[in-house]
Amino acid sequence: MQPIQIHDVVANEFGQVNDYIVSQLSSDIPLIEQIGYYIISNGGKRLRPLLVLLAARASAELDQTKLDQAIQMATIIEFIHTSTLLHDDVVDESDMRRGKKTANEEWGNAPSVLVGDFLYSRAFQIMVDVGSMQCMSILAKTTNIIAEGEVQQLINCGDPDTTEESYLKVIQYKTAKLFEGAALCGAVISGASTEYQTALSDFGMYVGTAFQLIDDVMDYTSTAEEMGKSVGDDLAEGKPTLPLIFTMKHGSSAAVERVRQAILTGGLEQLETIINDVQSCGAIEYTQQKAQEQADLAIKAITPLPESDYKAALIALANASVKRRN
């Protein structure tokens, strides 16, 4: 099953999510709408809202009320995700995302941060309309943990002694936690059993971790056109991702020194050599293996769910998370 077919099983619901997203971007302040439309329509896969819909459909039959709530919840997740992107790009001083200028590059840091705040607050307005205290609790905790992960990543930047364990904790907090929240909220909205809620929560965490591991691999294996951002962005920011951590443990002494200095200084002077160092010492294969392990755990986690096209799409999503090129 290819990615487009994953979307196909909830195509009608996905279209309603897109319409609802547009309706909820409305504001009396034109700049908010302008930046909001720009970032929301900027070519993202919308995997997190997709996960809400698939989790809801895979875990229970939905009446119209629950379906409407699932569409609202998918929009909430997308707004939270988009807000974190706006904030991240300011913190990272990024100038390109998904092949286009970042909002901060186009309009400046202050408008980007403030529109990010608008999307966060609009997400919680919609959450009140949904009226699920359990989902409110899940997402309140989720957004807090995401913020902690971002701060920890900031602390790790420029630290070549960051461990694999510390790195994994960061990506579980800053990336996988929202995947987990999306899947869990989909199950909660559907009225799924506690067993199914746990299964889908675990699925989200594992898939989100796999997704970020591959994202970090692509910084050393893909072109700017494939990624939609500049090659070497992680290195330029001094981020000790798993490919670099592995290289510092298993690369040649010269490679170790090059990577350490690059992380310490955020320098790209030896980018091509470092990419070769990473690719030649087994770091890419190791990180891909770790991602595959997470995808396998995700698939195993949803074993209790009944067989359906929606479960099959979840399994395909887990597999696709480790095979993507962008």
How far, in Å, CA of 322 to CA of 143, rounded? 25
Helix and strand tally (H, E) in the chain? 18, 2
**CATH superfamily placement of domain 11-322:** Farnesyl Diphosphate Synthase (1.10.600.10)
pLDDT at 324: 81
Using CA atoms in the order 88, 93, 97, 103, what is the torsion angle rounded to 10 degrees? 80
3-class DSSP assignment, residue 304: coil
* In 191-223, alpha helices (H): 194-218
3-class DSSP assignment, residue 100: strand
pLDDT at 228: 54
Reading the block at residue 186, the tokens are 């989909």
pLDDT at 1: 43
> pLDDT below 70 — which residues of the chain?
1-4, 43, 224-231, 326
Using CA atoms in the order 198, 199, 200, 201, what is the torsion angle rounded to 10 degrees? 40
Reading the block at residue 275, the tokens are 């990419």
> Residue 49's closest CA among 6, 91, 89?
6
Using CA atoms in the order 242, 244, 249, 253, what is the torsion angle rounded to 10 degrees? 170
How far, in Å, CA of 230 to CA of 315, rounded? 31
Write the DSSP string, 101-156. E-HHHHH-HHHHHHHHHHHHHHHHHHHHHHT-HHHHHHHHHHHHHHHHHHHHHHHH
Write out 244-259 in H/E/C secondary structure: HHHHHHHCCHHHHHHH
| pTM of the predicted structure, to 2 decimals | 0.93
pLDDT at 3: 45
pLDDT at 4: 46
Reading the block at residue 313, the tokens are 């799409």
Measured CA distances, 319 to 109, 292, 296, 302 (Å)? 36, 8, 8, 14
pLDDT at 235: 85
How far, in Å, CA of 297 to CA of 205, rounded? 10
- Domain limits, the chain: 11-322
H/E stretch holding 29: none
pLDDT at 70: 97
How far, in Å, CA of 14 to CA of 12, rounded? 5
